[in-house]
Amino acid sequence: MTLSIAEKSYLYDSLTASPSIRPDGRKPHQFRPIEVSTDFLPSSNGSSRIISGDGSECIVSVKAKVIDHTLSDEELIQVDLDIAGERTDSPQVETLMSLLNKVLKSGPGFEHSRLQLTERYSFKIFIDILVISSNCNPASLISFAMFSALNTTTLPKLISSFDDLKVEELPMFDDYDLVNLKLKSPLVFLLAIVGNNLIVDPDANESEVCDNAIIVTWLDGKIRSPIRTLTLNNSYSKGFDPTLLQKGLKLIEENAAAVLTALESS
Amino acid sequence: MSINFKFPESVIPGQLLCPAFDIKEENDKSIVYEYIAGPGTRLQKHNLNGTVVNIINSTLVGTVKIEEDFKMDSSNLDELNETAEDEKNHSNNGTREIKKIKVSVVHKRNNTSSEVDNELTNNLPKEGDIVLAKVTRITLQNVSLEILAVENSPVPIDSGVGSNGHGVVAAGAGSGSASYSVSQTSSDFGDPFRGTLRSQDVRATERDSVKIIECFKPGDIVRAQILSLGDGVNYYLTTAKDDLGVVFAKSGNGAGNQMYALDWETMVVPSTGATEKRKCAKPF
Amino acid sequence: MNVQDRRRLLGPSNAKPIVFSAATDIQSSEPKKDESSSFILNSGLIENCNGSSLVEIRDPKVTQHQTSLITSVYGPRATKGSFTSQASLSIQLKNGSSEKYNTTELKEVSSFLVNVFNSVINLSRYPKSGIDIFIYILYDKVLSEESKKSNNISAILPYCISAITLALINAGIEVDDIATAGYYKGDVISFIKNGEEVIGYWKDEGNCESFDVALEHCKTEAQKFKNLITTHILEE
């Protein structure tokens, strides 16, 4: 649905008002309701399905493979993204995929060493994301889905010994027992800038009129990289006051923990 | 009458030119100057010492051009007159004059070539512009054309490559080669702007009995006016004026010699005397 | 067949119109250098595009990268498809012979650059058209040992932004301001209007603790690039 020029102008004026008036009556830091269900794909190690209030829907599946990590230093988590109706080499898909891979890159607070099985072998995690429908930038929704999927992922329990450098043996797993991986992946937030106001989780209409937007990654109480600005539309995009960047990062820092609690309780 | 504002001569993008309004007191009369952003400039909000001001800034490298007593469209003018009257009622002495001044920046490169009058810094055809176009295809109802140039403005270096046959598009360059570029499909000869001319717009009189074949042939160069920006593909053109129509054509579907206009619907080859039917532009 | 032979009435493909060239001065091919001789800016090198620029950065003292970028701007030219009231912008970033960065990352950077320049170019001036920008990373070498490990594209982002700005100005495409950016420890911030407005922020590594410091550093660096571009334009 596209808005007319007059509608956009009205929406822009109400969003730039102080305090901003959002079309659905949300507060600047309020998210839209989401519905998450996990562990519904029997053939994968972890899965989740997330539905946003506006009909955006996304499915995430987590699968694992045992690799010899001494042979290559590739990343232990790999993301593959598919957006319905988009070609896999379209700029939107490639950009988002590159971003998500960077989000899940090993770093302080999110160590891939937890995936290590033995001295020699590690689990490599493959995350397949399918965005079934999306009305606005799906980065935030995807990260919530990835979090829920990784949080509920269960992997086979190792029964062979950890030290296998000297003895050549393949890792052995228990036939029935599974261990919960409990990997807390970073969350990604989308923050729109309209005039001098900041609003989190902009919907499709708000995206149409915002000046600019920031993608912020958050993990364990802290803002971390990657962070980028992006424009969600062509006609309204313009520069913004540098202090808004700081304000935005602070806004996320204050409110992200609540989102985390909500996602964990699901 | 002089503008009490000192404009810099040559400017660079982002350079502030003037505020949107300026006031000057002269013989107990206050003159309000209203500056209008023309081509090469843009009216923007700037934050100066905490207050937001509307300022016209340059968007090109070039020289500033100022047109005084700029005439706007009548609708806008009425509106402005109303506000001017309002202001008159509010001010006590009732002596206030509004002068409109159009500020534009002429691009440096265009300025150096002296052959054409470079009033337009913008290469794109706009509504009302006169263009030169080449006929590519005719049907009973329509003429398809490729726009070669906008009158009084230079052709961009890379466009019209397909039409005039010169210039080289490097492999791997141009929007056509990139699979996800702005124009997803394109010919290998560049992307000219296309126009379409309906049979009703060929001439001003007897619009319904126009036979396209007696007015245009493929290959003719036509002087036409832009009616509207049209749809995604075509500009809509018209030749319904005396000075619009075919300006250059060759006889025998392009195989023969150049023809000259005899009257408004006939062209002649001087060497053979052969005539062909065209909707000609008035040569003078 | 829906293919039309538009060249049927044309002369030989290598035919060129007669051009009576005015006795123009032959431009000195000597690139202009700024005071520290570490940045070389050159524009208008490529002849069949509307605008182009060559940006070379080579002093190890000033920057950790030794980079050379060629940028070309094509358009505004006609687009196919539905009517658009303003120009659509596309930017393609390409590896040179070194094949250093992977294509997915380059695409991400490209779309970041599109985001940045969407807020700078006066797009509404060009209805129904597309502007295509191509950047070719001719050469890129990391000089400092410290940043050699992370194969990071962030450091060359400010150069890309300056290169595009210069090429756009050369093409005579209307831009609101000279957009430049600065780099400081993984943060790239792009500014217009003398640092009063941010148009792009990119961060790929590190935490977000010293944002104020980064902002100031990037602002000074962006100002430096802006001054370089300004002097280059005025010299031409």
Q: What is the pLDDT of residues B4-27, one digit of tens each?
A: 567 888 888 888 888 888 888 777
Residue B238, token pair as written in the block: 């018209």
**Confidence class of residue B121 from pLDDT cuts 50, 70 and 90?**
very low
B-chain CB neighbours of C50 within 8 Å are 156-158
CA distance C110 to chain A (A): 9
Is residue C163 within 8 A of residue C71, CB to CB? The reply is yes
N- to C-terminal Cα distance for chain B?
37
Strand partners, B234: B194
At B166 the pLDDT is 36
Residue C62, token pair as written in the block: 């000033």
Same domain, B145 and B220: yes
Q: What is the mean pLDDT of residues B17-42?
A: 82
At B77 the pLDDT is 45
Is residue B233 scored above 50 in pLDDT? Answer: yes
CATH number at residue B247: 2.40.50.140
Please tell me which residue of chain B has the smallest CA distance to C89.
B182
- pLDDT, mean over chain B: 74
Across A91-100, A110-119, B32-41, B171-180, the highest mean pLDDT is recorded for A91-100
B169-183 core/surface letters (b: 16 or more CB in 10 A; e: else): beeebbbbbbebbbb
Residue A39, token pair as written in the block: 């562990």
Contacting chains of A (3 CB pairs or more, <8 Å) are B, C
Residue B27, token pair as written in the block: 């013989």
- How many residues are there in chain B? 284
A124-159 core/surface letters (b: 16 or more CB in 10 A; e: else): bbebbbbbeebebbbbbbbbbbbbbbbbbbbbbebe
Distance CA A71, CA A122 (A): 11
**Range of the structural domain that residue C85 is part of:** 38-235
Does residue C220 fall inside a structural domain?
Answer: yes
CA distance B113 to chain A (A): 34
Closest CA to A61 of A115, A130, A154, A151: A130
What does the DSSP 8-state code read for residue A6?
H
Is residue B214 within 8 A of residue B120, CB to CB? The reply is no
CA distance A219 to chain C (A): 10
Does residue B165 fall inside a structural domain?
Answer: no
At B109 the pLDDT is 59
Same domain, B101 and B151: no
At C13 the pLDDT is 66
Task: Name the percent of chain A lying above pLDDT 90.
Answer: 52
At A119 the pLDDT is 85
Is residue B91 scored above 60 in pLDDT? Answer: no
Same domain, B245 and B206: yes
User: For chain B, how big is the Rg over CA atoms in Å?
Assistant: 24
Is residue B75 scored above 80 in pLDDT? Answer: no
Residue B187, token pair as written in the block: 């010919």
At B115 the pLDDT is 37
Does residue B2 fall inside a structural domain?
Answer: no
The strand pair at C197-203 and A222-230 is best described as: antiparallel
User: Tokens 């030119």 map to which residue?
Assistant: B17
Is residue B29 scored above 70 in pLDDT? Answer: yes
Distance CA A246, CA A152 (A): 34
At C17 the pLDDT is 73
Same domain, B149 and B251: yes
Measured between CB atoms, which of C89, C191, C203 is closest to A227? Answer: C203
Complex-level ipTM beyond the 0.85 threshold: yes
Q: Which of A115-124, B2-11, B90-99 is predicted least confidently?
A: B90-99
At A53 the pLDDT is 84
Residue A121, token pair as written in the block: 């072998």
Is residue B89 scored above 90 in pLDDT? Answer: no
Same domain, B101 and B129: no
Q: Note which residues in 140-159 of chain C have CB less than 8 A from chain B.
A: none
CATH number at residue C157: 3.30.230.70
Q: Which residues contact B283 (CB under 8 A, 6 or more apart)?
A: B247, B261
Residue B141, token pair as written in the block: 């109802």
At C77 the pLDDT is 75
Closest CA to C158 of C128, C131, C129, C190: C190
Cis amide prior to C76 (ω within 30 degrees): yes
Strand partners, B22: B33
Please tell me which residue of chain A has the smallest CA distance to C89.
A234
Q: Using the beta-carbon criterion (under 8 Å), do C76 and B194 form an inter-chain contact? A: no
Residue C20, token pair as written in the block: 């009576």
Query: CB under 8 Å, gap of 24 or more: what pairs does B92-95 form?
Result: B93/B28, B95/B28, B95/B29, B95/B30
Measured between CB atoms, which of B47, B175, B185 is closest to C74? Answer: B175
C-chain CB neighbours of A98 within 8 Å are 104-105, 107-108
Does residue C207 fall inside a structural domain?
Answer: yes
* Tally of domains in chain B: 2
Q: Which of A210-224, B214-228, C79-93 is predicted least confidently?
A: C79-93
Closest CA to B268 of B241, B243, B244, B249: B249
Does residue B232 fall inside a structural domain?
Answer: yes
A169 C-beta neighbours (distance < 10 Å), count: 12
Q: What is the mean pLDDT of residues A55-60?
A: 93
Same domain, B132 and B60: no
At A113 the pLDDT is 81
Does residue B63 fall inside a structural domain?
Answer: yes
Q: Note which residues in 163-182 of chain C have CB less than 8 A from chain B.
A: 169, 172, 174-178
Is residue C115 within 8 A of residue C198, CB to CB? The reply is no
With 0-12 CB in 10 A as exposed, 13-18 as middle and 19+ as buried, what is A65? exposed
Q: Which helix (H) or strand (E) holds B45?
A: strand B41-48
Q: Which helix (H) or strand (E) holds A246?
A: helix A242-265
Residue A90 forms contact with B (CB below 8 Å): yes
**Confidence class of residue A44 from pLDDT cuts 50, 70 and 90?**
very high
Is residue B143 scored above 50 in pLDDT? Answer: yes
- pLDDT, mean over chain A: 89
Does residue C185 fall inside a structural domain?
Answer: yes
Residue B83: strand, helix, or coil: helix
Cis amide prior to A19 (ω within 30 degrees): yes
Q: Using the beta-carbon criterion (under 8 Å), do C6 and B187 form an inter-chain contact? A: yes
Q: Using the beta-carbon criterion (under 8 Å), do A91 and B179 form an inter-chain contact? A: no
Q: Which of A82-96, A110-124, B228-242, C47-61 is predicted least confidently?
A: C47-61
Same domain, B136 and B258: yes
Distance CA A54, CA C82 (A): 27
Same domain, B206 and B135: yes
Distance CA B17, CA B20 (A): 10
Q: Enumerate chain B positions whose Cβ falls within 8 A of a Cβ in A.
A: 47, 179-180
B-chain CB neighbours of A89 within 8 Å are 179-180
Is residue B104 scored above 70 in pLDDT? Answer: yes
Same domain, B45 and B139: no
Strand partners, C200: C190
**Confidence class of residue B41 from pLDDT cuts 50, 70 and 90?**
confident
Is residue A164 within 8 A of residue A122, CB to CB? The reply is no
At C12 the pLDDT is 67
Is residue B196 within 8 A of residue B186, CB to CB? The reply is no
**Confidence class of residue A62 from pLDDT cuts 50, 70 and 90?**
very high
Give C124's Cβ-side CA count (13 Å radius). 10
Residue B66, token pair as written in the block: 């100022």
C-chain CB neighbours of A221 within 8 Å are none
Residue A2 forms contact with C (CB below 8 Å): no
Question: Residue C16: left if φ>0, alpha if ψ -120 to 50, beta else—which one?
Answer: beta
**Confidence class of residue B171 from pLDDT cuts 50, 70 and 90?**
very low
**Confidence class of residue B173 from pLDDT cuts 50, 70 and 90?**
very low
**Range of the structural domain that residue B228 is part of:** 125-158+189-277
C-chain CB neighbours of B42 within 8 Å are 122, 174, 176
Distance CA A210, CA A198 (A): 10
At B94 the pLDDT is 55
* Tally of domains in chain C: 1
CATH number at residue B49: 2.40.50.880
**Domains present along chain A, CATH in parentheses:** 19-265 (3.30.230.70)
With 0-12 CB in 10 A as exposed, 13-18 as middle and 19+ as buried, what is B122? buried
Residue A91 forms contact with B (CB below 8 Å): yes
Percent helix, strand, coil in chain B (nearest 5)?
10, 40, 50
Same domain, B100 and B15: yes
Same domain, B149 and B195: yes
**Confidence class of residue B216 from pLDDT cuts 50, 70 and 90?**
very high
Is residue C137 within 8 A of residue C75, CB to CB? The reply is no
Residue A89 forms contact with B (CB below 8 Å): yes
Distance CA A145, CA C231 (A): 51
Distance CA A6, CA B13 (A): 30
Distance CA B106, CA A88 (A): 44
Residue C152, token pair as written in the block: 């990071």
Distance CA A224, CA B185 (A): 41
Q: What is the pLDDT of residues A140-168, one digit of tens each?
A: 999 999 999 999 999 999 888 877 777 77
B-chain CB neighbours of C7 within 8 Å are 162, 165, 189
Residue pLDDT tens, chain C, 236 long: 445 556 566 666 677 777 777 765 555 445 444 445 578 888 888 877 788 899 988 765 555 678 889 999 887 777 777 788 888 888 989 887 777 788 888 989 999 999 999 999 988 888 888 888 999 998 887 776 655 555 678 888 999 999 999 999 988 888 999 999 988 888 899 999 888 889 999 988 777 677 888 889 899 989 998 999 999 988 87
The alpha helices in chain C, defined as continuous H runs, are: 103-118, 145-148, 157-171, 211-235
Residue B230 forms contact with C (CB below 8 Å): yes
Distance CA C173, CA C126 (A): 9
Residue A199, token pair as written in the block: 């609003």
B29 C-beta neighbours (distance < 10 Å), count: 12
A-chain CB neighbours of B47 within 8 Å are 241
Is residue B218 within 8 A of residue B136, CB to CB? The reply is yes
